[in-house]
A and B are shown apart, each in its own frame.
Chain A
Amino acid sequence: MKKRIQFYFAFYLAKISVIVLKIIRRDATQFPGKLAITLCPNFLDQIGKPKTIIAVTGTNGKTTVCNMIENCLKENGYDFMDNQLGSNTNSGIASTFIKGAKLSGKPKKDLAVFEIDERSSIRVYPYVKPSYLICTNLFRDSLMRNAHTEFIANMLSNNIPKETKLILNGDDLIVSNLSPENERVYFGIARLKTDTDTCENIARDMIVCPKCDSKLEYDFVRYNHIGRAHCSKCDFKSPTIDYEVTNIDFENKIMTIKHQEKEEQYDLINNNIINIYNMLATITLLQELGFSQAQINPVLSKQKIVDTRYSKETVNQIEVITQLAKGMNPIACSRAFDYVRKESGNKAVFLLLDDLHDAANGSENTAWHYDTDFEFLNDESIKQILTAGARYLDTKVRLEMAGIESKKVICQREELSLIEKLNLEGIDKIFILHDLYAMDLKNEIKEQVKRKIQEKQLEKAKE
């Protein structure tokens, strides 16, 4: 009884805070949930929850996968609650439940889609039991927060509820071994022409067999520990894939997915392998929910990658591309570097990777630079690398360690005057790779780049 009083006190106070925050237009916050959990520590346990909860976790791709799932659900007439505007921690999820609850504390909707931070597993899963949980991948992330992949994988395996059906990336040898007792389906992409027999990435967390410590034999490597492998000394191996991309037609942007001997085609949003994995995770979940290709494909094919993650504009025949490359996240940055080097044409690259929060409070821990494949930027087609920010001297050394010729590199403290050093001669594409917290800076530099291209065009016209 005392517990219920404590719950309702926290719930109503949090509900009032939602109204106040809405009035002052600050409703995209985790404050109500934080308040409720502070007042009633087992609030998440007591609040009414929708019948079906879809959760998405993993190092990279959580937000994109949630966006894709939500768009498909919306377009197919489903009503649901989500934490898109709040945070992906226990407070953010509590806030969503509070906003989506009737005054009785019961949910207004029967369905929820949650992005859940891996690190929050311990505070979420004991109370919120997803019907389906997608895990996109598990990689090295912020070493200060997430330490290493074994720590995160253990945290997930120790907390994922037994009744949750897992939708796992079967090409990720860490993810595929999560919570082995749980019911599961695997998604994956069969060997591609671009896959290799050996790994060229620095960060590799599955070199030896987790069961017997023998060296794993990779059937193919896509990047880092993504690929398929087996142990020659014990029975450890990549799982059998339930939803497998058997063919990708990059030219026509179509992929073929095989499930239970049936093949279906889906349109690709773009050719980035990360987005193909994100789409595949989404399709697997939706098919498990009973959706058909005809319900999914028309929605996914129209899906836009949000501007904060990727944008492309052409200014006088020069492409200006912005791409999120989360600082402190070695794999996200390495994937962005790989994407740049594999794009056609001559390129100039802006690197805005400093953690601005850390820079403001002292000196960023740059250990992650050395888990990141800056070596991918050492490519003939990359003609200029421009980088600035508090860590410019460290980045300069890192680029030297990657063997990049110093004449190609501009490193300086001040970010906004970098544009003066941009050399447009012979450049087809300009990439602005930026941290999540450098949006304003990215936008400013993008505008500067566009102006410089236009000015050059005007000069040419005058001549």
Chain B
Amino acid sequence: MEEELTIEILFPEFCNLYGDLSNMKYLQKCMPKANFHETAFDEEPLFVTEKVNLIYLGPMTESRQEKVIQKLLPYKQKIEERIEQNVVFLITGNALEIFSNYIEKEDGSKIEALGIFPIYAKRDMLHRHNSKFIGKWEEIEIVGFKSQFTFSYGDNTHGYFATVEKGIGIHQESQLEGIQKNNFIGTYVIGPILILNPYFTKKLMEKMGMKEPKLAFEEDVIKAYEYRLKELQNL
């Protein structure tokens, strides 16, 4: 079963900031027999022609955001189809903005994005937001960190990733974090989110089609998760 799973990592040569690729390395340790496919920027994404079980896109620099939008624009319809087909997407950090309507720069100019979700992002390169996060997703408490130059605005009430328990949602006044539609999950939470959140990772593996998923270093990642959750709750 596990050997039939395919995970596609999009553009790891530059969508790799903040240690986020460790999420895929961890999944590899959890699912050593699964097929991990790295799609380079000059290649056609695998999901266009083949069935994949997880599509992963990590944070990138601002100039790369514009290029990734142009790269994925011809595949917009295919992405929407895959979302409807319940393919799991894990989109972290500012990669989330690729799927929004547009990204507004400080000078008011706009970068048109894929326009799959009814949100838009505003950049402020002079002010970096850093915060700690606890949110609830399917009865699981998600812990993590945010570090970003942008906030997203618009309506995510019909499709958010988590309700905020500590920290902020898609912008400073929002209590709803990220975007979720079917199994598409987009979140501003960065870093090793799968390593930090063992229960979330297990659920994600189930959504990908794994029965009775087992985590790598399960006992230790759960201990670390519980320790951090308590730390963040006590802040």
Is A144 engaged at the interface, CB distance under 8 Å to the other chain? yes
Determine the chain A residues whose CB is within 8 A of the CB of B42 once the complex forms: 213-215
* Interface of chain A residues 208 through 234 with chain B (CB within 8 A): 208, 213-215
> With A and B bound together, what is the CA distance between A145 and B41 in angstroms?
28
Q: Is A305 an interface residue (CB 8 A)?
A: no
- Contact in complex: A363, B19 (CB < 8 Å): no
Residue A313 lies at the interface, judged by CB distance under 8 Å to chain B: no
13 CB contacts below 8 A, A to B, read A144-B128, A202-B19, A213-B67, A215-B42, A330-B19, A363-B235, A367-B18, A370-B19, A370-B191, A393-B228, A396-B224, A400-B220, A401-B26
Name which residue of chain B comes closest to A149, CB basis.
B61
Report Cα–Cα, A368/B223, bound state, in Å: 20
Within 8 A of B (CB), among A136-189: 140, 143-145, 147-148, 150-151
Identify which of B26, B41, B147, B195 contacts A147 (C-beta below 8 A).
B147
Q: Is the C-beta of B13 less than 8 angstroms from some C-beta in chain A?
A: yes
**Is A318 interfacial (CB-CB < 8 Å)?**
no
Contact A367 B130 (CB under 8 A): no
Q: Does A244 contact B (CB under 8 A)?
A: no
Q: Which residue of B lies closest to A216 (CB)?
A: B13
The answer to whether A145 and B128 touch across the interface, beta carbons within 8 angstroms, is yes
* CB within 8 Å of B: which A105-139 residues: 122
Indicate if B137 sits at the interface (CB-CB under 8 A): no
Bound CA span A394–B221, Å: 8
Bound-complex Cα distance A148 to B15 (A):
12
Given contacts A143-B17, A367-B19, contact A397 B195 (CB under 8 A): yes
Q: When the two chains form their complex, are residues A363 and B149 in contact, meaning their CB atoms are under 8 A apart?
A: no
Closest chain B CB from A334 CB (angstroms): 12
B190 part of interface (Cβ distance < 8 Å):
yes
Report yes or no: A148 in contact with B17, Cβ–Cβ below 8 A: yes
Q: Is the CB of B128 within 8 A of A394?
A: no
Residues A367 and B145 in contact, CB atoms below 8 Å apart: yes
Closest 6 CB pairs of A and B: A370-B19, A367-B191, A370-B22, A393-B224, A150-B61, A365-B145
Q: Please determine whether A362 and B192 come into contact, CB atoms closer than 8 angstroms.
A: no
Q: State in angstroms the CA–CA spacing of A427 and B41 once bound together.
A: 47
Write out the residue numbers on chain B whose beta carbons fall within 8 Å of the beta carbon of A207. Answer: 13-14
| Most B Cβ at <10 Å: residue of A202, A208, A396 | A208
A401-427 interface mask toward B, CB cutoff 8 Å, 1 = contact, 0 = none? 100000000000000000000000000
Cβ contacts under 8 Å, B191 to chain A? 365-367, 370
